[in-house]
């Protein structure tokens, strides 16, 4: 059981380049999330999705776009990477929005913008 | 969002119990108390959650104060693998149902 899988695991970009981070889950979860974690800090929500074809903004959405074309996949895009986007990106999924439902996380994508 | 307060760091010895405290004095009646931990270079891992009653699972126990303004995560016998940052989070049943992470407690386990 793979759970939540993120690709790539590491990436180095130059300022202004674009890229897409892929998150895949095999648990048939409705909800998916993208977080970023900066050194010494907790995770902050970028965007989330409550089901296939839906997306919504989180706490820090500027500079990112997302798509949820298939239920099992949630893509995070950087159109024009900036050094401030250097971070570790985590994807998570959950069954639904209920308060008693945990979120399941991937192992992260470590992204450096030069 | 209701906030939680945790000590920045705690230290324990291997095979001893560990009690990790969390204060959440502004908790609302429908907030669930969740605990996650994050091992080095890994994503957060769900540990346990509760609403009003104490909870036990294979990983840990959660003790919730009667007024729900504080809780304690209990690791019954700490191992070196338990060294991690532990996050206490209040989870609401909202449209996004996001998790709001604070800085957590860095647990060091001494051999």
User: Cα dist. B66→B52, B69, B75 in Å?
Assistant: 8, 8, 20
Task: Retrieve residue B62's tokens.
Answer: 């959660």
- Using the Cβ of A112 and the Cβ atoms of chain B, whether some distance falls under 8 Å is answered with no
Q: Which of B9, B39, B40, B43 to mutate to test the interface with A (most CBs of A within 10 A)?
A: B43
Q: Which of B3, B99, B100, B106 to mutate to test the interface with A (most CBs of A within 10 A)?
A: B99
Facing B98 at nearest CB: one of A58, A106, A107: A58
Cβ contacts of B93 on chain A, cutoff 8 Å? 97-99
Question: What is d(CA B95, CA B93) in angstroms, rounded to the nearest whole number?
Answer: 7
Higher pLDDT, B30 or A20: A20
* Mean pLDDT, rounded, for B41-62: 94
Q: Please name the helix (run of DSSP H) or strand (run of DSSP E) that holds residue A73, with its range, or none.
A: strand A73-78
**CB of A109 within 8 A of CB of A7?**
yes
* Mean pLDDT, rounded, for B1-27: 93
Edge-to-edge strand list for the sheet holding A4-7: A4-7, A19-25, A73-78, A65-67
Report CB contact under 8 Å: A107, B43. Answer: yes
Whether residue B96 is predicted with pLDDT greater than 80 in this model: the reply is no
Question: What is d(CA B30, CA B92) in angstroms, rounded to the nearest whole number?
Answer: 7
Percent of chain B surpassing pLDDT 70? 94
Task: Retrieve residue A113's tokens.
Answer: 């913008």
**CB of A22 within 8 A of CB of A42?**
no
Question: What is d(CA B77, CA A75) in angstroms, rounded to the nearest whole number?
Answer: 40
Question: What is d(CA B2, CA A55) in angstroms, rounded to the nearest whole number?
Answer: 25
What's the half-sphere exposure (Cβ side, CA atoms, 13 Å) at B27? Answer: 27
Please state the three-class secondary structure of B15-74 as a single string. CCCEEEEEECCCCCCCCEEEEEEECCCCCCEEEEEECCCCEECCCCEEEECCCCCEEEEE
Neighbours of A77 (CB within 10 A): 14
Could you tell me the mean pLDDT of each successive run of 10 residues in chain A, 114 residues long?
90 96 96 92 91 93 96 96 96 87 94 96
B95: pLDDT confidence band, cut at 50, 70 and 90? low
């Amino acid at each position: 059981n793979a759970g939540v899988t993120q690709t790539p695991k590491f990436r180095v970009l130059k300022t202004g380049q674009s890229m897409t981070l892929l998150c895949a889950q095999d648990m048939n979860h409705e909800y998916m999330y993208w977080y970023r974690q900066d050194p010494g800090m907790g995770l902050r929500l970028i965007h989330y999705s409550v089901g296939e074809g839906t997306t919504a903004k989180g706490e820090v959405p500027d500079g990112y776009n997302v798509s949820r074309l298939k239920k099992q996949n949630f893509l995070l895009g950087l159109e024009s990477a900036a050094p401030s986007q250097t971070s570790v990106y985590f994807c998570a999924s959950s069954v639904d929005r209920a308060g008693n439902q945990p979120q399941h996380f991937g192992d992260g994508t470590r992204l450096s913008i030069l | 969002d209701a906030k939680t307060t945790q000590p920045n760091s705690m230290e324990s010895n291997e095979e001893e119990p560990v009690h990790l405290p969390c204060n959440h004095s502004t908790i609302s009646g429908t907030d669930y108390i969740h605990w996650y931990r994050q091992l080095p270079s890994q994503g957060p891992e769900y540990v346990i959650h509760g609403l009003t009653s104490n909870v036990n699972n294979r990983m840990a126990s959660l003790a919730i104060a009667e007024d729900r303004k504080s809780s304690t995560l209990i690791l019954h016998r700490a191992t070196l693998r338990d060294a991690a940052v532990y996050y206490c989070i209040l989870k609401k049943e909202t449209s996004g149902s996001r998790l709001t992470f604070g800085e957590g407690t860095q647990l060091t386990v001494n051999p």
